[in-house]
Chain A
Amino acid sequence: MIPKTPHSIPDLTSQIRRDIIRMVSAAKSGHPGGSLGSTDFLTVLFAEFLDQDPARWRRDGKNADMFFLSIGHISPLYYSLLARMGYFPVKELATFRQLGSRLQGHPSIENGLPGVHVASGSLGQGLSIACGAALSKRLAGDPHRVYVLLGDGESEEGQVWEAAMFAAHHKISNLTAITDWNGQQIDGPVEEIGGVGDLNAKWTAFGWRVLECDGHNPDDIRNTYRKAAEPGDKPVMILMHTNMGQGVDFMTGSHKWHGKAPSAEQEALALAQLKETLGDF
């Protein structure tokens, strides 16, 4: 493990969830549901596994692990996590979605935000980019891993499966992909909308090593990341079982909070469920 923060995982995840609610409420727009659902496993990744020094972060990822967020709409989580890990000042979270901010609605590199390698938001593109970065690292003899986070709804995009085939064919084994399998997308449950079906069978059939994990259980998450990094000749897919909106009772498990900001009253209700552990921005 790579200790990079003095804070405990529970303190971090509680504060990050508060940040998400407060950022989206202040901006009166954004995507709280998926952000809350991915908080636990992504925090463990950044705090304990990602070999990357926030103070020495480089866009080219040289001699460090790299993380790509393909589902750019969970930017509230991404920004909060990066800020709380020391990539940029926490107070900058107050600028989310504001004119002139580095914290665009969806991640951008136009104004150079530490931690962000590429823009994302239009779905389906992150896995391909991660494949390119991982191949580049292999070519350079750099043993570091590349991580990428996809969504289950996103997996309706054809490019995801182009990349799936490509990664297995080229034996890109320094790649750990994660699918946030929360079962929800904007219009409703994934199985009613796009029907991605048995993701384990699909990724296995495409030639990947597939692991499943409880995306809210830190010990299971740690064990799974460890297993994923074991040597092999296949790319690894971790199917993270999560609840959209996890941590806020009235948001949990529903697609209705995919891309909607809470009212002032709802914000207060949500924050009452989330302890302020590290100081609000």
Chain B
Amino acid sequence: MTMTNTGNKDTRSGFGAGLYELGTLNPNVVALCADLTGSLKMEKFAESFPDRFFQTGIAEANMMGVAAGMAVTGRIPFAGTFAEFATGRVYDQLRQSVCYSQANVKIAASHAGITLGEDGATHQTMEDLALARALPHMTVVNPCDYNQTRLATLAAAAWEGPLYLRFGRPSVPNFTPVDGPFEIGKAWMIQPGEDLTILATGHLVWEAYEALKILAQKGIRAELINIHTIKPLDEKAIIESALKTGAVVTAEEHLVTGGLGEAVAGLLARHHPVPLRMVAMEDGFGQSGTPAQLMDLYGLNAAGIVAKASELRIR
């Protein structure tokens, strides 16, 4: 289908909008934030539902535990902080208090990936999908634009069980339809094609859409599928597409290690091995720069996707 950028917006604002809507819809929804309320666009929820908003201060481990206690008692808590602090800093809390305890906590992980930009590598987690994926019982969702992040936030509240919701800081094209489709665990076919499958997640989906046009000029009819749910992976959709095209490129704002690419590689290795290339950052830390500079430097854009596609022999 044809996509149009209706104006750049940040995905974190999609989360903030979705969270506020949830506040109006469901009295069981509560929110916690570790001193980043403005950054995560949680102010409207906090101001509108002060009884249901809990400022935890800069104490993420405690926040995850408090959220788990609220979940056990029947609330639907959204615990918000930067993705780095929502995974690496609190891994054992996510593992024992949330996942092993089957606590219905929603982890709102903002400023994920390299597009956090100028703050540099201390805050740019490129490992969080791997960490979140590895946790038993954890569902992992990485929406691609404002509209999809809003829908993912609404869907997260209705989803039973721990869920890692990953979104970002920069303003990026907002192009997905306001009413979806969006269903957790169900891949979204954006454009069918015959020659090559592109599986993209997060900020790379728009880049992949741009890449389609470049590839078309080269006579390659690529199929673009949005994998917004990294876990559980929509195995059927991915295998069917690989069977059809025989070549796959994955695209994500994450390290190669443990992200979408390796998840897809593992799946296809088990079921239908095909030539595969990963658009992802090689092992290493990021650095300060504008989001665009960094995505360009590490090849996480349309040109990078076209380059990787060109390495594949298209049948």
Contacts and interface: CB of A to CB of B under 8 A. Distances in A.
17 contacts: A62-B73, A109-B101, A110-B100, A124-B61, A125-B92, A128-B97, A132-B66, A133-B69, A135-B70, A136-B30, A136-B70, A136-B74, A139-B52, A159-B59, A162-B59, A163-B65, A169-B57
Given A122-B96, A169-B57, A60 B72 contact: yes
Contact of A119 (B56, B59, B100): B100
A130 interface: yes
B54 A125 contact: no
B179 to A, nearest CB: 32
Contacts of A110: 100, 102
Contact residue range for chain B?
20 to 34
Given A61-B72, A136-B74, A128 B66 contact: yes
A20 to B, nearest CB: 24
A94 interface: no
B70 A159 contact: no
Sorted from nearest, which 5 A-B pairs have the closest CB atoms? A132-B69, A128-B65, A162-B62, A162-B59, A132-B66
B62 A166 contact: yes
Interface in B58-97: 59, 61-75, 77, 92-93, 95-97
A131 interface: yes
B73 A128 contact: no
Nearest to A61: B73
Contacts of B95: 122
A155 interface: no
Given A108-B100, A119-B101, A170-B54, A136 B73 contact: yes
Contacts of A133: 69-70, 72-73
B203 to A, nearest CB: 32
A158 B93 CA distance: 12
Given A109-B102, A119-B97, A128-B63, 12 more contacts: A110-B102, A122-B92, A125-B93, A125-B96, A125-B97, A128-B93, A129-B65, A129-B101, A136-B70, A159-B61, A159-B62, A162-B57
Nearest to B103: A118
A110 B73 CA distance: 17
Interface string B35-54: 00000000000000001101
A158 B90 CA distance: 12
A120 interface: yes
Contacts of A227: none
A59 interface: yes
A129 B56 contact: no
Contacts of A169: 57
Interface in A46-86: 59-62, 66, 68
A131 B244 CA distance: 53
A130 B69 contact: yes
Nearest to A60: B74
Interface string A222-248: 000000000000000000000000000
A129 B68 contact: yes
A130 B63 CA distance: 12
Contact of B51 (A128, A129, A134, A139): A139
Nearest to B27: A139
A274 interface: no
A248 B92 CA distance: 35
A120 B96 contact: yes
Contacts of A137: 73
A62 B74 contact: yes
A121 interface: yes
Q: In terms of DSSP, what is the predominant structure of the interface of chain B?
A: helix
A59 B72 CA distance: 7
Nearest to B100: A119
B73 A118 contact: no
Contacts of A258: none
B64 to A, nearest CB: 7
A128 B64 contact: yes
B97 A136 contact: no
User: Residue among B56, B64, B66 with the most chain A CB within 10 A?
Assistant: B66
Contacts of B66: 128-129, 131-132, 135, 163, 166
B101 A118 contact: yes
Contacts of A162: 57, 59, 61-62
B61 to A, nearest CB: 4
B69 A158 contact: no
User: Residue among B62, B68, B69, B103 with the most chain A CB within 10 A?
Assistant: B69
Nearest to A72: B96
A163 B62 contact: yes
Given A129-B66, A132-B65, A136-B70, A166 B57 contact: yes
A118 B97 contact: yes
A117 interface: yes
A106 B63 CA distance: 23
Nearest to B32: A132
A146 to B, nearest CB: 8
A128 B102 CA distance: 16
A165 interface: yes
Interface string A165-202: 11001100000000000000000000000000000000
